[in-house]
A and B are shown apart, each in its own frame.
Chain A
């Protein structure tokens, strides 16, 4: 038997901090069924309850009756009105509409084994609602509270951030608030850890008591209508549930009507009452309820705490005078970004490369090689282990330190509140091309790893914006694409400095153009939800929270990307070393006869108009689908350069490989049979190759993340198809029109390229069809 507590509250109210404080490491993250909303459950650390005080006697007896206390962390929501997925899922869970599946395996500490446990009661509501409320911002937070109190579930309110409240000299009368709300109110500070024991003891005791009686009442005529509704449609329901359903019916909530299977006649009957009420108060029913909730909250709040006047400047406001200042905001932002990349990529990245590419990695490889030789290991197995697995593991490991550093710094920026300001500053810019300011974070994270960038898009509530962000996130060069850039830069452009920044510009330009183009298509057009975003007060995040966030993101990278990249390396190694040789037998063959080469040759013609129609490039492009850094290793292997074959994905190494490959072009070589890299590409075709690989569909790991996040096959294929198509068209236009300027002849493909370019430009500049429609309607 367990006590289930639902933790509900506004975003930025300190819910996550409280959840971490209550559950420590006993947390499990999953998904709510059918949606991409994250579900967190955890077991209460009984250590955080001080069971020695007098009031704990009752709590103790209750605890003894149950095995454990499970806390479910619901997503941060502003209200239970179902406009976003997060709100819907919270409402469904609290109303008991969810076919509630618990996360199935949970370690049973007494036996030390994980137990498969199906949910006790499929549609069960939680035993207690723990509503966390931000003490510095009571009014808006209490809105949700007034909704929760109507649900008929036992409830306790925790006023968090009391340390801030006290520091700014304000007070909250918790007792008075409790009387006004109808349920116990405890002051806590989740960050400092004060009040938590009292809170949980009260919570445990309250879970067995009666649900709160809502103390807030609406105006006379509304109450009258609600009573009517209860009488007409809800008399068969248990009494504590009636209130909430009555309000929902008053608001004409469609889902409620459907679930309760209210007959059409009854609805008409209720409609009359509602209409009368609306006429008298001159507003529609939903607005009436919302307005009256706030009217009640106004009274409550004036009676129990010091209210902040709207024009008062808080500490955060004063910081914002500089940070979102009209002149200083963008330079400060540029500085912060530069610092971020300097620390994460350059510093940590260089350090990692220095460690991995020299000494340590080589000595391990040597040692393993010696070991394998000494046990007479078969050639192919040696190859598999050294060139397949080692290369793969090396590739993943080389990214981890950079990514961890990036994630740590991002966690800092997000929890201190700066990211919200960035969204605020950049929103107008992003809106120009169909996104919102909130899309910035996924792009930034995507510059580290596309997988985690796509997952970060989860926080965007607007469905359309989210989908568009997911599709365009991978245009930003991720850290796996840096080796390709370095390789091409050094091998074919003599290490020119402008190649790398130009790649980022191409990525950004691709995002901008895609945003504009997609926004004008039917799928994405139209603007429905308001961009209303809270600017939370600045605060110093706790180191633990930052580390936790870094760990979560880093782990998901290792788990998702790491396994797939490893697999991909093995697959590439396998297909490039095995095939059918001339006698028709299957086995290890020279590169040119391998399966990968066969596949590459078969599709090489597709890329001919792009300027690189030879089989090696096609093979590399295909290998790139499995993991972008495979392009470099594939090239190195295909061009038969020994040292470069040991490339494990570092930027430095790719640069070196490129330099070496470039050198080999100067001498026709004693080898004679090797066709050097530089000879098979011109500057134009090389850059076209670069563009194609930068923009086309991301690695398999990222693609599987897109599949998960889009939740539908159609959208997935749309995303991937658009990316590939866009990459193809851009590379084509670039190469064809570029060669025209470079003195090439005008042929069929040039014509096609010009036509495509004009088409693209048309798509960019055509007026937004929805806007045109509205103008016509005027």
Chain B
């Protein structure tokens, strides 16, 4: 199982489990990091720690020690491997779609991108992780 600490910046993942002792876990959950929520790892601080993540519509700073307690699962396909450069190129019409399947490309370009791409990627790969 991957933990949040091992996720590379620019990736969205889904939380599967939160470990740690009771008050620690409670704190993390109260800030919105619960089972099943999507977390986007935005960047790492200049000195290597802490992380900046986006969850439930806001940005949060989380130490590596605490991130180690959060087990995550990759979101397959488009959402998971979304990166800044890809986004920028998409805007400029220069996006490289090599990694993604035709269904995902179609979903994105139709404009109702995000919701349909998740469901389509999930159905195409089968919902392996929840």
Contacts and interface: CB of A to CB of B under 8 A. Distances in A.
Interface of A: 78-79, 81, 83, 136-140, 143, 284, 286-287, 290-291, 294-295, 307-312, 316-317, 320, 324-327, 329-330, 420, 423-429, 431, 527-535
B57 A308 contact: yes
A533 B82 CA distance: 25
8 contacts: A137-B57, A290-B26, A294-B37, A307-B57, A310-B12, A326-B44, A530-B62, A531-B61
Contact of A287 (B12, B25, B65): B25
Interface stretch (B47-55, B97-105, B121-129): B47-55
B27 to A, nearest CB: 5
B5 interface: no
A563 B34 CA distance: 51
Contact of B29 (A139, A287, A316, A533): A287
Contact of A137 (B25, B30, B58, B61): B58
B34 A291 contact: yes
B24 interface: yes
Interface in B1-49: 12, 18, 22-32, 34-35, 37-40, 42-49
B60 interface: yes
Contacts of B52: 320, 324, 424, 535
B90 interface: no
B90 to A, nearest CB: 12
Interface string B51-82: 01011111111110110000000000001001
A531 B67 CA distance: 10
**Top 10 nearest A-B pairs by Cβ distance?**
A310-B40, A139-B56, A530-B66, A428-B47, A535-B59, A308-B57, A428-B49, A329-B46, A311-B40, A137-B58
Nearest to A137: B58
A600 to B, nearest CB: 47
Contacts of B43: 320, 324, 326
Contact of A532 (B18, B31, B49): B31
A439 B43 CA distance: 22
A501 B14 CA distance: 49
Nearest to A429: B47
Contacts of B18: 287
B12 to A, nearest CB: 6
B83 to A, nearest CB: 9
A404 to B, nearest CB: 31
Contacts of A329: 45-46
A140 B32 contact: yes
Nearest to A139: B56
B22 A284 contact: yes
A138 B57 contact: yes
Given A78-B31, A530-B63, A532-B27, A330 B58 contact: no
Contacts of B63: 427, 431, 530-531
B115 to A, nearest CB: 10
Contacts of B34: 290-291, 294-295
B2 to A, nearest CB: 17
A533 B22 contact: no
A139 B61 contact: no
A428 B45 contact: yes
Contacts of A286: 22, 26
A324 B45 contact: yes
A79 B79 CA distance: 31
Interface of B, secondary structure class, is: mixed
B57 A530 contact: no
Contacts of B45: 324, 329, 424-425, 427-428
Contacts of A330: 46
Contacts of A531: 50, 61-63, 66
Contacts, number: 139
A530 B27 contact: yes
A286 B24 CA distance: 12
Contacts of B31: 78, 140, 532, 534
Nearest to B67: A530
Nearest to A80: B30
B105 to A, nearest CB: 18
Contact of B59 (A316, A327, A427, A527): A316
A35 to B, nearest CB: 19
Contacts of A530: 24, 27-28, 62-63, 65-66
B48 A311 contact: no
A79 B28 CA distance: 12
A317 B59 contact: yes
Contacts of B24: 528-530
A311 B29 contact: no
Nearest to B69: A530
A145 to B, nearest CB: 13
Given A309-B114, A329-B46, A425-B47, A143 B40 contact: no
A427 B49 contact: yes
Given A329-B45, A532-B61, 20 more contacts: A139-B32, A140-B58, A284-B22, A286-B26, A287-B18, A290-B29, A295-B34, A309-B114, A310-B57, A320-B43, A326-B43, A426-B47, A529-B23, A529-B24, A530-B24, A530-B62, A531-B50, A534-B58, A534-B59, A535-B59
A295 to B, nearest CB: 8
A423 B45 CA distance: 10
A162 to B, nearest CB: 15
Given A309-B114, A534-B58, A424 B50 contact: yes
Nearest to B43: A324
Contacts of B38: 310
A316 B26 CA distance: 28
A140 B56 CA distance: 7
A532 B47 contact: no
A535 B32 contact: no
Contacts of B66: 530-532
B44 to A, nearest CB: 8
B60 A533 contact: yes
A529 B31 CA distance: 13
Interface string B87-109: 00000000000000000000000
Contact of A310 (B39, B44, B47): B39
B30 to A, nearest CB: 5
Contact of B26 (A287, A295, A325): A287
A541 to B, nearest CB: 19
A530 B64 CA distance: 10
Given A428-B49, A530-B24, A291 B61 contact: no
Given A79-B30, A138-B57, A428 B48 contact: yes
Contacts of B54: 310-312, 317
A295 B31 CA distance: 14
B61 A535 contact: yes
A423 to B, nearest CB: 8
B22, B29, B30, B37, most chain A CB atoms within 10 A: B30
A528 B20 CA distance: 10
B49 A311 contact: no
A140 B28 CA distance: 12
A462 B116 CA distance: 43
A355 to B, nearest CB: 41
A424 B57 contact: no
Contacts of A79: 30
A312 B54 CA distance: 9
Contacts of A290: 26, 29-30, 34
A330 B22 CA distance: 36
Given A310-B55, A311-B82, A530-B24, A425 B40 contact: no
A136 B56 CA distance: 10
A428 B82 CA distance: 28
Contacts of B58: 136-137, 140, 534-535
